[in-house]
Amino acid sequence: MTLTLAQRLERFQVRMAELEFWRVHKTAKIDGWRFNDTPIALGEAWPQIHGTQRFAGSAAVPAGWPLEDTRLYVDLGGESLITIASDDGVSKTVGLDPYHREFGVPAARFTVTSETVARLPFGEPVRKPHLERAELLWLEPSVDKLWLLVRQIAEAITVLEGHDVVPHLLDAGEDALRSLDWPSATADYVSRTSMALMQQKIWQLPDLKAEPAGLEDHHRASVIKAYDALMARLAGLRERFPPQGKIALTGHAHIDLAWLWPYDETRRKIRRTFHTALSLMEGSADFRFNQSTAHYYAQIAEDDPDLLERVKEQVKAGKWETVGGLWIEPDTNMPTGESLSRQVLYGQRYFEQTFGVRHTVCWLPDCFGFTGALPQILRQGGMTSFFTIKVNWSETNRFPADLFWWEGIDGSRVLAHTFDNPMQGYNGFVRPDCFVPTWKNFRQKDKHETTLLCVGYGDGGGGVTPEMVMREEQLRVFPAIPQAEWTRVEDFFDGAHETAAKKALHVWQGEIYLELHRATLTSQSAVKRLHRKAERTLITAETVAGLAHLMGAGRPASLEPTWRVVLKNEFHDILPGSSIAEVYVDAVRELDGAIAEGTAALDQAMTALAGRLPAASGGDSGAVLVVNPSLSPRAIRLDLPDGSVSAEGTLPPLGIAVLPASALAPAPGLTVTKNTLENATIKVTLAEDGSIASILHKPTGREAIDGRGNRLYAYTADKPRNWDAWDVENDYIEKAEEITGFDAIEIVETGPHRVAIRIKRTWRHSSIVQTLSLGANARRLDIHTEIDWHDRRVMLRSLSELAVKSKTATCECAYGVLERPTGSNTSWDEAMFEAPAHRFVDLSEPDFGVALLNDAKYGHSMRGSVLGLSLLRSPIYPDPLADEGHQAFTYALMPHAGTWYEGGVREEAEDLNQPLIALPVTDRAVGAWQPLAPKGIDAALSGFKPSEEGDDLVLRVFEPTGRRGDFSVSLPDGWATSGPVTILEEPMDGVAATGLLPFEVKSWRLTRT
């Protein structure tokens, strides 16, 4: 009778499963454990489960057991860092998790100690943890190796279905199993195999032996012979059926800085994972491991300095690769360009100072889309290559390439690679059925012969297992499947660059938008606002301190320690809002602290600046020191202790002025009624429900609203099929409740500097209070919003129907803008129903437009002539109380003449996000100063900071509109600018000393002469 290949494979799998039950010759339980110094028996529940617990035990290898074949198997009931130490001082520390539970022993007698938490790798609580298992195993290494080898053959047969090699692989595997000389004594055999699936289904098993006999020497000899013969036969088949494709393997452990666990747990995960990786390197000369994130190494330096020294040794040996070049793996949609620059600056400097290396590869496997500003930032930071796999997560359109040039908005290019591994993506496995589909999915195989694949348990850390290392060794002789070998990531990209120099590759221009996880632009919006404020406070504090230094004050202190806190909270599961509540308790505390430190530095800078200004001959009780911290002229709008100021006149870029009380008189023409707000530039009329019926732009005579503006909608069907905090489905609009009812509409400010109308609303269990205000000199209508939210699984949005028609909307991004379609002509357009923007989105015709500004939001929609802003979401996973309670923010509507840049939209967005800095003074002379004056085309300030080396200042600007032209700065006597420097503050070759290209980022050192 002839069986089909499928039937033979099934038979082969059944027969090979038998090997598992003979893998261990003998076992010996380890008793006498202590839990936090209290005795605990095997199988006993933990006396307490909260926090970090400590287990301690000791073991003696039974007489006659070969030490090299003895293993410690431990399951303490949760994730652990364990130390195995012999009596003579030899010890090994490793991570213990569901994938790492079996370890070699250092001596015949040893102790085991642990730091243990009642959690699993993805943060899942172990509700009733027990001391599950602790025993010594006398391993049969020959059986262990053969069992793994035949499993790999079965996996290869499955994934190579239809390939000519399949019957030969099956023949080889069947012959190997048939060649075994195997035990058959009834009592021993039945007892050994009692845990097999078919045995477990039996009504009543016979009495089982407690210690059934294992293999004897002649059995072992047959296993060794079968293994050697099978490996030789596979090698022969490899000659006949050569490998198809090449895979560069890199060991990896993606460790989310915080996600389904708080950061304190991450600190423990880092140690567990690092120790595990080092232990694998001790047993394998070929194994290579990569780990990104400068912050992790800095944390290890505090928590476990000896561990860091061991990592340094392996970095020097070339086995441990510190990839990435950034401080952490950040979200890239929401941080400012300056924040992303600091990620590179502080990351690269740390790696160089700690390990003596700079990185050429940006490693961001798991972020939710990528700003088009990133290639330029990477290039200036010394990185020429970029890696992610996230582009393969898009649900609607397939990204067109997996080895390609990524061209940023300024034209800078980095070589990008992504792989499509269906087995857990960047948490891959060393298996034939992982290698084959990964290679099959590699679309640029006609251009380049190798794809990258990172392997190891991740997200919650853990990394590579000993089995994966052994699997790689065995797979070296396998036929047909791709050839894989441990490789350094930078070596892979070096080879890819050689290919790219010879062959034309696809070029992707601009942002890489992820057609998934769009709700991360809104979830946990209160933390997003704190982050925005922290960024701006630090940039402003540095800028004012730099201006004071140019005026003769002392050199500013570095704010790097505070910046590091902000950068940490840009991690791609913190800032996007996809973590548990405990993470946001930490984030709020840390960001509040960063804002406080930045504010203190700003106050100190203002005081220092005031001290460098001429003294007044007589006091002026109404005088105010005002600083413009931007590169744009700014209207005189101030928030003073006794109220707001909205005066005539402007302050030049980076200008400093002491204004007398007479200069603070309100601009004329400001009025308010129960349903109108009006000044010299715009007139706003409210509808009966409090939405906006009209915004008349007086200079052009154009109406900005076609329908109604600021219509509030609650979307109660915001219930994605997966990834609750991450996703918003495109059908969320199908169930919308417009919030038209109100509790009160009242005038709350009547001028002379500002007028305001307050609208109080209640929706279900939540309240929304919006104060619509108009300054005397304002060009925009501010909508200050305070929400007390107590409803779940709802999305709140504001929609404004505009009297403007355009095929595209202009959206601010890091270091520039990009245009997005307002229609849905293609599947790519349709998929972009929620998209990121920073401080503004603008819809313009050639001579008129309307901008939607904000000081805290990122999720936008632009469909037809309607601009939408997502205000909050309230998912229940992984934080059931996300966006619960109070939050406050401001957004604004701004009509303008001309295009967005002709109308000054960016300048108004800057003003909304960072008003002029004001300090009442009584002893400074009235006057104006501009120690750093820009000349040429309009530019935007990225940062103005003390240099990392030396006593210089570093000025960084960018061209924000997509134009080009002359640009330079003038400085006070005694100061000069160097030639352009990179983000790393090193000279740039081949770059003009002055002038700016479209979206170019350019920095200069300012040096005392």
755 with 774: CB under 8 angstroms?
yes
Residues whose CB falls within 8 Å of the CB of residue 539, separated by 6 or more in sequence, listed in order: 336, 338, 629, 941, 943
**469 phi/psi in degrees, rounded to 5:** -65, -45
> What is the full DSSP assignment across 597-634?
HHHHHHHHHHHHHHHTSPBPSS--TT-EEEE--SSS-E
Among the listed residues 366, 420, 573, 724, the single catalytic one is 366
Buried b (16+ CB within 10 A) or exposed e, 2-40: eeeeeebbeebbeebbbbbbbbbbbebebeebebeeeeb
- Please name the amino acid found at residue 989: D
Number of H helices, E strands in the chain: 19, 52
Helix (H, G, I), strand (E, B) or coil at 593: helix
What's the distance, Cα to Cα, between the start and end of the chain in Å? 95
> What is the full DSSP assignment across 828-855?
HHHH-SSEE-SSEEEEEETTEEEEEEES
380 with 1001: CB under 8 angstroms?
yes
| Helix residue spans in 56-100 (DSSP H) | none
Residue from 314, 301, 255 nearest 573 by CA: 255
Give me the torsion for CA of 426, 431, 437, 439, rounded to 10°.
Answer: 80
Distances (CA, A) of 596 to 243, 276, 562, 569, 847: 60, 39, 10, 16, 43
Phi-psi region of 643 (alpha: psi -120 to 50; beta: other; left: phi over 0): left
569 with 250: CB under 8 angstroms?
no
At which residue do the structure tokens 């380890």 appear? 30
Written as six digits, the tokens of 126 are 């172990």
Helix (H, G, I), strand (E, B) or coil at 127: coil
At which residue do the structure tokens 């609650």 appear? 714
Burial tier of 935 (Cβ tally within 10 Å: 0-12, 13-18, 19+): exposed
Q: What does the angle CA 254 – CA 567 – CA 549 come to, to the nearest 5 degrees?
A: 155
For residue 84, the 8-state DSSP code is: E
Written as six digits, the tokens of 87 are 């009596």
Q: What is the β-pairing status of strands 38-40 and 102-104?
A: unpaired
CA dihedral for 15, 20, 21, 23, sign (positive or negative): positive
The residues that bridge with 102 in the sheet, in sequence order, are 73
For residue 666, the 8-state DSSP code is: B
Distance CA 55, CA 595 (A): 41
Distance CA 649, CA 632 (A): 14
**505 phi/psi in degrees, rounded to 5:** -115, 160
**158 phi/psi in degrees, rounded to 5:** -65, -45
Distance CA 687, CA 694 (A): 8
Where would I find the beta strands (DSSP E) of 621-709? Answer: 624-627, 634-640, 643-651, 656-659, 671-672, 676-678, 682-686, 692-697, 702-703
- Report which secondary-structure segment, H or E, holds 92: strand 91-96
**778 phi/psi in degrees, rounded to 5:** -75, 150
Residue from 300, 169, 292 nearest 233 by CA: 169
| 603 part of the active site | no
For residue 559, the 8-state DSSP code is: -
Catalytic residues: 366
